[in-house]
Amino acid sequence: MKLENLPKSKETKGIKRVGRGPGSGMGKTSTRGEKGQKARSGASIPAWFQGGQSPLYRRIPKRGFNNKRFRCEYATINLDTLSKFFKDGDVVTPEVLNERGIIKKNLCGIKVLANGNLDKKLTVKAQRFSSKAVTKIEEAGGKTEVI
């Protein structure tokens, strides 16, 4: 037996056909009531819409503290970038990075991340380091200094 061979049951109900004349009982307004926004075609009103009046979420005053204004973002730089732009034994500082155009904005400082490999001895001075970046720099024979 296959799905298409199953006997039809009485539980399946036909589709309600609306707007087919007054004799159907669902003609004229097609079960949409009389006039108004919901009677029009394409009417899909959001649940929070309050008829054009100023909505509740805008009438209630803002509360609480937001730390976004005072947060400190760091310009990030990866180890592969350092190995590409610097020679063996160089000292890497935020001023040097800005002069060479490697970092566009200084923001609150610079954070060194461990993406890539470092094969040169560099002395890196920055505000922050990831723990993996510190180990990779020291494995290559370099030094890290937190400013």
pLDDT tens, residue by residue, 27-49: 888 888 888 888 888 888 888 88
Alpha-carbon gap, residue 59 to 134, rounded angstroms? 51
Q: What are 132-143's pLDDT values in tens digits?
A: 999 988 888 888
CB 85 within 8 A of CB 53: no
- Architecture of the CATH domain 72-146: Ribosomal Protein L15; Chain: K; domain 2 (3.100)
Alpha-carbon gap, residue 116 to 136, rounded angstroms? 10
Residue 61 has pLDDT above 90, yes or no: yes
Alpha-carbon gap, residue 117 to 113, rounded angstroms? 11
CB 112 within 8 A of CB 136: no
Tokens 């490999």 belong to residue: 117
Check residue 35 and report its DSSP letter.
S
Alpha-carbon gap, residue 10 to 83, rounded angstroms? 76
pLDDT of residue 42: 85
Cβ neighbours of residue 32 closer than 8 Å, sequence gap 6 or more: 38, 39
pLDDT band at 59 (very low <50, low <70, confident <90, very high): very high
Residue 4 has pLDDT above 80, yes or no: yes
Residue 1 has pLDDT above 80, yes or no: no
Residue spans of the domains in the chain: they are 72-146
Residue 85 has pLDDT above 90, yes or no: no
- pTM tops 0.75, yes or no: no
Radius of gyration of the chain (CA): 34
